[in-house]
Amino acid sequence: MWSKTFIAIVGGCLLSISLMLNLNFMIPFKIDTRLFIGLLFSFPMWVALMVWCYASETFKQAFKRCTLLFIPSAMFNALFLLN
Amino acid sequence: MNKESIKRLTLAHGWLGLVFSGLLFIIFFAGSIALFRQEITLWSMQPHFPVTSGENIGVNKVLKTALADRDYDANEHITLILPSTDSHYYKAYVDIKDREKEPHYDELLIDPVTGKIVSEGYKFDLADFIYRLHYNLNIPSGKYVLGFVTLFFLFALISGIFIHARKLVSNFFQYRGEKHKRSQLLDMHNVVGVISLPFTIMYAISGLIFNLVIIYQVAFALTVYKGDGEALLKDAGFTVIAPEWLDKPVDHVDIDKLIAKVSDEYQVAPRMLTIYNYGDESAVIQLRSQDTSELTTTYNVAYSLVDERVIMKSDNDHPNSLTIGTGVLRKLHYGNYASIDLRFIYLLLGFGVCGLIITGNLLWLEKREKMRNFSARTLSIARYFTVLSSAGIIVSTSIAFLCERLMPVTWLDRVELLAQTFWLSLAALAIIYVLPKVRANYRQALAVSLYVSAAMLLLTLLVSLSALSQPLIDLFMVGSYAVFAVDLSLFISALLLTKVGHIIMKKSSQVAVKAQEDLIPTMNK
């Protein structure tokens, strides 16, 4: 269980940042509203990912789950940032 | 979610809950008391100073008194907090030129009727100490430590929902009082957890935003804003007011007139004024309201002091979603958007969560005590930390209350002494709880701790009534009841602590008798 804590904290944090960046680029509101929505949803997103990690069978499975979600999300981040 | 996943979540819920329970208890216990920090500050301070009644002399004269014979730093800022129901006096914070030691400013309490300085220096720290304990433990970087504790608290809440989901509705009112002890604890944990869920989720998310926002702030500044942190802050509605010093002295500016104008415009008087570059042509005044009757913040405006030109305006006509949103979250968190009844509901829920934390730990202990191969040392450590982080904090807090009342107001280092008393009490209890005789019966230790807390609170009340009887009568005569309300709360708390301590002591005796009865047949064999 303790090994999953590492991926839950670090992986959850990175993934939530990446997902929030995508959300920030996609939602059609003014910047202050987008920032507030991002702020409001980022921590629950992080915790949801933590739950997903702890529900995994092993550290390896948790790592795999986070990585598989992070790769496409990071690609979208790159796409949005380059544009 | 399948059964195996729920099992893994239950394991994580239990272990992480236990590991972070001590700090979580501090957060909720201190936070619940800190809901009334204005009243506690009044209780600490008001009986030591006279209460005058009459016409308010206004900010111009107060400012003159605050700055007279003081080598203030005009390049810095002067802050004034205006009198309200929370405080009878003007509070002034004046930055002093080239002061090497901290604080670099003078803190003054100024009577709004006589205009005299009633107190200099920061002396009444009890309420703020408890409040800081709630959000940063009074230690450097404590804010981030508690931020991560809050993260795991939110995890415990969400995982708790998954664990309890199937019985969430059917077992909502279930409490098996007469049956097995584990069922009692589990029902208590579940019922308090479910009832307080909207409150705890709001607290966890807002607490995370206050303490760990820096993570997302840095990430957004580096990516979306390409390293331009100032642009991010500007979009977020945080305007930095830093007027350039022009070195053109201005004699007199009528601040009262400006306050009247702003109060008239918004129909709410400002609560806090910050004056930048006072005495220079570049001087700017920032006025902020603190309306406790509604959720949204009314205004935060800045004007040039010389020509009343608008420098910055954030109000309901010029809104910024992030500023308003975080303002709403702050009010939701502090419960200061309605009358005092709401804060009592928050208080009950906060103490309910303290119960939730303790029952969670007891459940964990009960389960592991039955496991044959489980480490006795781990169990002993878990029991020790449960008692220290709950009873230890309660006793230390009540000693801090007594200390605040006993210390003469003339003592300059009473702020440091209060903090030292709290931490020394906790350290002493940490040693006492580790003694073999105490470890042999933690229930009894818990009960005795609650009795000690009750005695401390009653002693505090006794000191209040004997040493400060005349000021208390004077306060009552002018209709200032906050001090009495706090004294009454201390009395009720003492009664409750005695009652709970009595119940625990009774159970402890029953357990001891049962253990002895179990031991006799074994010995006869």
Find the closest chain A residue to B3 by CA distance.
A55
Contact at CB, A54 and B155, closer than 8 angstroms: yes
Euclidean distance between CA atoms A80 and B2, whole angstroms: 37
Euclidean distance between CA atoms A71 and B513, whole angstroms: 62
Contact at CB, A39 and B213, closer than 8 angstroms: yes
- Give chain B's mean pLDDT: 87
Q: How many residues does chain A have?
A: 83
CB of A71 less than 8 A from some CB of B: no
CA angle, B372 then B159 then B166, to 5°: 90
Euclidean distance between CA atoms B247 and B98, whole angstroms: 19
Contact at CB, B220 and A35, closer than 8 angstroms: yes
Q: Angle of helix B442-467 relative to helix B469-477, nearest 10 degrees?
A: 70
Contact of A74 with A11, CB cutoff 8 Å = no
Find the closest chain A residue to B161 by CA distance.
A51
Euclidean distance between CA atoms B201 and B203, whole angstroms: 5
Task: Tell me what percent of the residues of chain B surpass a pLDDT of 70.
Answer: 94
Q: Which of A36, A42, A56 sits opposite B321 (nearest CB)?
A: A36
CB of A32 less than 8 A from some CB of B: yes
Chain A nearest C-alpha distance from B225 (Å): 10
Q: Which of B155, B212, B322 sits opposite A51 (nearest CB)?
A: B155
| pLDDT value for B298 | 75
**Least confident residue range of B253-262, B469-478, B515-524:** B515-524
Does B50 score more than 90 pLDDT? no
Euclidean distance between CA atoms B72 and B68, whole angstroms: 9
pLDDT category of residue B345 using cuts at 50, 70 and 90: very high
CB of B215 less than 8 A from some CB of A: yes
Euclidean distance between CA atoms B174 and B191, whole angstroms: 8
| pLDDT value for B179 | 59
Chain A nearest C-alpha distance from B149 (Å): 12
Task: Tell me what percent of the residues of chain B surpass a pLDDT of 90.
Answer: 41
CB of B210 less than 8 A from some CB of A: no
- pLDDT, tens only, B458-516: 999 999 999 888 888 888 888 788 889 999 999 999 999 999 999 888 887 776 676 66
pLDDT category of residue B393 using cuts at 50, 70 and 90: very high
| pLDDT value for B450 | 94
Contact at CB, A44 and B154, closer than 8 angstroms: yes
Find the closest chain B residue to A39 by CA distance.
B209
Does B102 score more than 80 pLDDT? no
Measured between beta carbons, the chain A residues lying within 8 angstroms of B234 are: none
* Rounded average pLDDT over B94-113: 86
As beta bridge partners, residue B119 has B109
Euclidean distance between CA atoms B81 and B274, whole angstroms: 9
Does B126 score more than 60 pLDDT? yes
| pLDDT value for B238 | 80
| pLDDT value for B487 | 93
Q: Which of B9, B223, B321 sits opposite A51 (nearest CB)?
A: B9
Tell me which range, B146-155, B302-311, B468-477, is most confidently predicted by mean pLDDT.
B146-155
Chain B nearest C-alpha distance from A37 (Å): 9
Does A76 score more than 70 pLDDT? yes
Measured between beta carbons, the chain A residues lying within 8 angstroms of B326 are: 36, 39
pLDDT category of residue B519 using cuts at 50, 70 and 90: low
CB of A6 less than 8 A from some CB of B: no
* Rounded average pLDDT over B129-138: 93
Does B524 score more than 70 pLDDT? no
Measured between beta carbons, the chain B residues lying within 8 angstroms of A39 are: 209, 213, 216, 322, 325-326
CA distance readout (Å), B177 to B121, B180, B184, B348? 53, 8, 6, 21
CA distance readout (Å), A80 to A45, B57, B105, B216, B275? 20, 58, 47, 18, 43
Q: Structure pTM?
A: 0.89
As beta bridge partners, residue B287 has B273, B301
Query: Which of B2, B222, B232, B322 to probe by mutation at the A interface, max A CB count within 10 Å?
Result: B322
| pLDDT value for B178 | 61
Count: domains in chain A: 1
Does B168 score more than 80 pLDDT? no
* Rounded average pLDDT over B233-237: 84
Contact at CB, A55 and B320, closer than 8 angstroms: no
More confident residue, B53 or B453: B453
Q: Which of A21, A36, A39 sits opposite B223 (nearest CB)?
A: A21
Q: Write out the residue range of the structural domain in which residue A59 sits.
A: 2-82
- Give chain A's mean pLDDT: 91
* Rounded average pLDDT over B266-292: 88
Euclidean distance between CA atoms A66 and B400, whole angstroms: 47
Does B377 score more than 70 pLDDT? yes
Torsion region of B83: left, alpha or beta (phi above 0 gives left; psi -120 to 50 gives alpha): beta
Euclidean distance between CA atoms A38 and B223, whole angstroms: 14
Query: Which of A13, A37, A43 to probe by mutation at the B interface, max B CB count within 10 Å?
Result: A43
Q: Which of B5, B15, B151 sits opposite A55 (nearest CB)?
A: B5
pLDDT category of residue B176 using cuts at 50, 70 and 90: low
CB of B7 less than 8 A from some CB of A: no
> Which positions ≥6 away from B458 have C-beta within 8 Å?
B490, B491, B494
More confident residue, B278 or B168: B278
CB of A22 less than 8 A from some CB of B: no
Chain A nearest C-alpha distance from B318 (Å): 12
Euclidean distance between CA atoms B133 and B123, whole angstroms: 18
pLDDT category of residue B127 using cuts at 50, 70 and 90: very high
| pLDDT value for B242 | 86
CB of A57 less than 8 A from some CB of B: yes
pLDDT category of residue B23 using cuts at 50, 70 and 90: very high
| pLDDT value for B240 | 82
Query: Which of A1, A5, A31, A77 to probe by mutation at the B interface, max B CB count within 10 Å?
Result: A31
Residues 72-131 of B with CB under 8 A from A: none
| ipTM score | 0.94
Euclidean distance between CA atoms B191 and B206, whole angstroms: 23
> Which positions ≥6 away from B385 have C-beta within 8 Å?
B21, B22
Find the closest chain A residue to B324 by CA distance.
A36
Contact at CB, A17 and B215, closer than 8 angstroms: yes
